Amino acid sequence: MIKPSVYDDVFDRTINGDEIFLFVKGSDHLCTVNFNLFTPLDSRALCATYDIVLKLLHQRKNSTSVPQVPIHKLPALPEKFKINTVLTFHESKQIQLKCFTSKNGLLHNNNPDHRDQVRKWISAFGNGSGGIIIMGIDDKTCKILGQLLEGDSEDDIDKRVSSIVLKMSQVWSFTPKRRVHWDLKFFPVEGKSSQSALTVVVLYIAGMQNLGGIFTKCPRSCELRLGLDGREEVHRLSFEDWKQQMLGATQDESEGIEYSSL
């Protein structure tokens, strides 16, 4: 079930011998299968609840796209990173440590899981007080390992991160700007024993709770609409349709039924 609904809010049920019939009822609010919006905990990104999503949508300030927590107010990092040393800090609501390994290159399109992790943390930090994703640090030991950029250039990584942010921003209420809403920096790792270049890659995300919600992609929500043949069809809501129904729809306007693969 999708909170804040409970079972009886959504289903009527009838038992007939060895068969159980479930009848889906209209909800008091728009049911959404996945909000695709996250908030930060100390060591993980948490899928936002209905109430949190509503709160962030209502906090939108139309007069400005300036973050509440600018990038320059994020936690300071050491000027240098040294191989195999242990950081003096841990993961928190503003710090996430990652060390990605892949034959395809850091955040390459062929690494959807890595890119998805970064998207979740961009959303989480953006919906919180901002944060930094530090790539090249073991998240369990906090040991500096560095990212091997063999076959990649800093420009390659820059373009991949830019593409992630720009694709996400298709469902934001503003156009993100480099060094205002996000930034990317590279730190060389000293003391490495091999000839291969190791780098700590840091992605900075401003705190943007006042900008209407930082989604990873369009929320998944559906409703029944009449098709060309006059029959009802399941229709996926666009972001604008979904947002308008979330913000101000009446029961008559928002009888969207949640559909899943159950």
Flag whether 189 is in a domain.
yes
Tell me what pLDDT residue 45 has.
95
pLDDT in tens, 48-98: 998 999 999 998 776 678 999 999 999 999 888 999 999 988 999 999 999
Flag whether 258 is in a domain.
no
Cβ atoms within 10 A of the Cβ of 68, count?
16
What DSSP element (H or E) covers 57?
A: helix 50-58
Structural domain of residue 149, as residue ranges? Answer: 61-211
Flag whether 69 is in a domain.
yes
Residue 112 in this model has a pLDDT that exceeds 70: yes
Higher pLDDT, residue 5 or 179: 179
The angle subtended at Cα 138 by Cα 84 and Cα 114, nearest 5°, is 135
Flag whether 199 is in a domain.
yes
- For residues 238-262, average pLDDT: 62
Instruction: Measure the N-to-C terminal CA separation of the chain; round to a whole number of Å.
Output: 11
**What is the distance between the alpha carbons of residues 50 and 28, in angstroms, rounded to a whole number?**
13
- For residues 170-192, average pLDDT: 93
Residues 149 and 179 in one domain: yes
**Residue 120 belongs to domain with CATH number:** 3.30.950
**What is the distance between the alpha carbons of residues 199 and 144, in angstroms, rounded to a whole number?**
10
Flag whether 108 is in a domain.
yes
pLDDT in tens, 217-234: 999 999 888 888 889 999
Tell me what pLDDT residue 42 has.
86
pLDDT in tens, 117-150: 999 999 999 999 999 999 999 999 999 999 988 7
The angle subtended at Cα 79 by Cα 76 and Cα 83, nearest 5°, is 115
Residues 72 and 20 in one domain: no
Residues 81 and 141 in one domain: yes
Residues 98 and 30 in one domain: no
Residues 72 and 202 in one domain: yes
**What is the distance between the alpha carbons of residues 157 and 97, in angstroms, rounded to a whole number?**
17
CA dihedral of residues 72, 207, 134, 166 (deg, nearest 10): -110
For 156, residues 6+ apart whose C-beta sits below 8 A from its C-beta are: 105
**What is the distance between the alpha carbons of residues 125 and 57, in angstroms, rounded to a whole number?**
16
Residues 128 and 158 in one domain: yes
- For residues 201-227, average pLDDT: 94
- For residues 164-188, average pLDDT: 95
Q: What percentage of the chain reaches a pLDDT higher than 90? A: 64
Of 22-31, 141-150, 166-175, give the lowest mean pLDDT range.
22-31
Flag whether 105 is in a domain.
yes
For 81, residues 6+ apart whose C-beta sits below 8 A from its C-beta are: 136, 144, 146, 187, 188, 189, 190, 200
Flag whether 45 is in a domain.
no
Higher pLDDT, residue 195 or 163: 163
What DSSP element (H or E) covers 162?
A: helix 154-168
**What is the distance between the alpha carbons of residues 174 and 165, in angstroms, rounded to a whole number?**
12
Residues 158 and 120 in one domain: yes
Flag whether 216 is in a domain.
no
Residues 87 and 110 in one domain: yes
How many domains does the chain divide into?
2
- Amino acid in the structure at residue 24: V
Of 182, 211, 240, which marks where a domain is finished?
A: 211
Residues 225 and 205 in one domain: no
Residue 257 in this model has a pLDDT that exceeds 50: no
Q: What is the largest CA-CA distance in the chain?
A: 73
DSSP label at 94? T
Of 211, 236, 257, which marks where a domain is finished?
A: 211
Tell me what pLDDT residue 99 has.
93
DSSP label at 238? P
Average model confidence (pLDDT) across the chain: 88
Residues 151 and 191 in one domain: yes
- For residues 178-206, average pLDDT: 88
Residue 259 in this model has a pLDDT that exceeds 60: no
**What is the distance between the alpha carbons of residues 201 and 146, in angstroms, rounded to a whole number?**
8
Tokens linked to 186:
């590279």
Tell me what pLDDT residue 185 has.
96
Q: Which residue has the tokens 């993980």?
A: 44
- For residues 144-162, average pLDDT: 91
Q: Are strands 182-190 and 81-82 parallel, antiparallel or unpaired?
A: parallel
